[in-house]
Amino acid sequence: MPAGQFTFQPAVPVARALSLGAALPELLTPACPVALYAAALQGDSLCLGHYQHEAQALGVTERPWLRRASGGVTVRLGDGIVYLALALADRSSLMKCPPGRLLNRNVRGVLTGLRQHGVAINYFGRDFLSVGAEPAIYVGWDIRSDDRVLLEFFVARESAWFVPASELAYPDRQEPALRGRTPTQITQLTAAELAQAIADGHARSFAVTWVDDAQLSTSTAAPEQREALASHALAWSRPREEPIGFVSAGVRLDAHKLFAEVRIAGDFFAHRACTATLQTQLLGREPNEREVGEAVDAVFARSGYDVEGIRNLSVIRDAILEAAERSAIERG
């Protein structure tokens, strides 16, 4: 029976809510390994996933944008959206959770809580929960280097989080977003009722005992907002389509045409150690298919390093090689 910290705030600017969500894993303790923060959002902003390359996802835009802690696609945040952050000391804090099952196991409290209030919510895989068959809640996840977990839920209550392809700078997709489904909203509950229902769902599903979290309410944590992946020093590959969205790579070669910097970007989810470890593995090596392929396989297929949204690791290899070729041309 884990103890958990629970806080709901009725009107919170987007940047503030994201900063509190990002800070949530740091507040966990052995005595209290679960935390849930919920807020009715205020404002209007585009919100990029942790790994997205802003220039490729948004292009040139005057609209305000932020970067969140979890991976995934660009969503719209603000008025009419309810934000929830669920932090876990590890993937199995609520129930035993093998690699590759993070969402499957840890969305059950949300499903239970909303179903108790008459919402026909389902999880069919990918990165959203559906009312009936229509997407209503976007969900992203992040696993920190110390294996602490953060899940972020964006609930369409009075407005949509979905950003149409026409507002993004990516190439045309071959596979439609959200499996071609039309997003919907959960209107039968107020923001406070929705947050409480989800807290009750975790109590029912996992026997979590909730306590109020005064520490979170006074937190001054800073968000990761507007942290840019774009760099004039990096040459970027074109975005390659994958199930959830797109994947690309940025590379800088040194004077000897060896890897000096490697960045993987896109709409995917991954243990944070994945991208950092891959760069370490490639530094000083030649940009050839064998070297890059072996490094990608060794890192992204490593046990415990969850990756979601990339169907074939050769996509990462090919993106890195394309970016390296562009970097070599730029260096002359």
Q: Hey, what are 35's tokens?
A: 């935390």
Contact (Cβ atoms closer than 8 angstroms) between residue 224 and residue 22: yes
- Residue numbers of the domain that contains 90: 3-217
Same domain (yes/no): 172, 267: no
Same domain (yes/no): 145, 190: yes
Q: Hey, what are 298's tokens?
A: 């060794």
pLDDT for position 223: 47
Contact (Cβ atoms closer than 8 angstroms) between residue 142 and residue 150: yes
Query: Among 187, 217, 247, where does a domain finish?
Result: 217
Same domain (yes/no): 285, 184: no
Closest C-alpha among 6, 23, 39, 38 to residue 208: 6
pLDDT for position 300: 87
Contact (Cβ atoms closer than 8 angstroms) between residue 119 and residue 131: yes
- pLDDT tens for each residue of 47-94: 999 999 999 999 988 888 999 999 999 999 999 999 999 999 999 999
Which band of pLDDT confidence, cut at 50, 70 and 90, is reported for residue 99? Answer: confident
- Show the 3-state SS of 91-142: CCCCCCCCCCCHHHHHCHHHHHHHHCCCCCEECCCCCEEEECCEEEEEEEEE
> pTM of the full predicted structure?
0.93
User: Would you say residue 130 lies in a domain?
Assistant: yes
| Whether pLDDT at 118 is above 90 | yes
User: Would you say residue 189 lies in a domain?
Assistant: yes
| Whether pLDDT at 98 is above 50 | yes
- pLDDT tens for each residue of 13-59: 999 999 999 999 999 999 999 999 999 999 999 999 999 999 999 99
Rounded Cα gap, residues 193 and 157, in angstroms: 11
Count of domains in the chain? 2
Average pLDDT over all residues of the chain: 91
| Whether pLDDT at 3 is above 80 | yes
Averaging pLDDT over each range in 194-198, 229-233, 241-245, which range is the top one?
194-198
Query: Among 217, 247, 279, where does a domain finish?
Result: 217
